Amino acid sequence: MALGKDYAHQQCSIARSLEVVGERWTLLVVRDAFYGVRRYGDFLAHLGAPRAVLAARLQALVDAGVLDRRRYQESPPRDEYVLTEAGLALWPVLRALGAWGRDRIPGTLPMRRFHHAACGTELGPGGECPSAGCPSHGRAVPPADIEMRPGAGLDPDPADPVSRALLRPRRLLVPLEHEPPAGNSPAAPVVVPDGH
Ligand SMILES: [Zn+2]
């Protein structure tokens, strides 16, 4: 029997939040959106979730106002998914969840490390910049100002192109680069149609 989707007898705000982000894969979709993944095919390549499940999770996140669906190509029609303001507000939740796993689950190595892009300092336990000399000292760094760097747990040779692209240090929320199709001049610039 399938599990119920909601917590009918729970008025608690944690339960309400879990109705939006508590299903399997959902928070990983949101995580990938912070990493710059926007397209269905890229979520699929990186997550390995069943296609129908991924499509359902993306739709549910759009319905809940966490992701915004934008058309980036008309023929054939292709959409991308971008975090809304409500989605961006989930960053402290994800960061804290990752830190909890690293601190409390034995054998968990950090896959990625998060630094304040402006000064290069690794974020503190509360997501703040701990550098005494930084103008943002002690303040939580918003995702757009965070640089993600590879951590000790990251596979140095992943199979899928999305994971390979995410091996490089990169700013959160910047759309994933797409390598030009084979046959293009190596000097040709990579065009990233991001729909806005
Ligand atoms: Zn700083």
Ligand 1 centre from 90 Cα, in Å?
21
- Asked whether residue 110 is domain-assigned, the answer is yes
Ligand 1 centre from 88 Cα, in Å?
20
Ligand 1 centre from 151 Cα, in Å?
19
The packing angle between helices 40-47 and 26-34, to 10°, is: 110
pLDDT tops 80 at residue 40: yes
Ligand 1 centre from 134 Cα, in Å?
5
Residue 182 has what pLDDT?
A: 52
- DSSP E strands, 11-159: 67-73, 78-83, 112-116, 146-150
- Is the same domain home to 108 and 165? yes
pLDDT tops 50 at residue 76: yes
- Is the same domain home to 64 and 116? no
Higher pLDDT, 53 or 152: 53
Ligand 1 centre from 66 Cα, in Å?
28
Report, as an integer, the average pLDDT of 127-142. 96
- Asked whether residue 127 is domain-assigned, the answer is yes
Q: What's the pTM? A: 0.86
Residue 154 has what pLDDT?
A: 86
- pLDDT band at residue 2 using 50, 70 and 90 as cut-offs: low
Residue 180 has what pLDDT?
A: 54
What is the CATH classification number for the domain harbouring 78?
1.10.10.10
As a whole number of angstroms, the distance between CA 94 and CA 34 comes to: 10
Ligand 1 centre from 147 Cα, in Å?
11
- pLDDT band at residue 22 using 50, 70 and 90 as cut-offs: very high
Residue 141 has what pLDDT?
A: 97
Tokens of 120: 């290069």
- pLDDT band at residue 186 using 50, 70 and 90 as cut-offs: very low
Per DSSP, 24 falls in state T
Residue 159, domain extent:
91-171
Give residue 194's identity as a one-letter amino acid code.
D
Ligand 1 centre from 27 Cα, in Å?
27
- Is the same domain home to 64 and 95? no
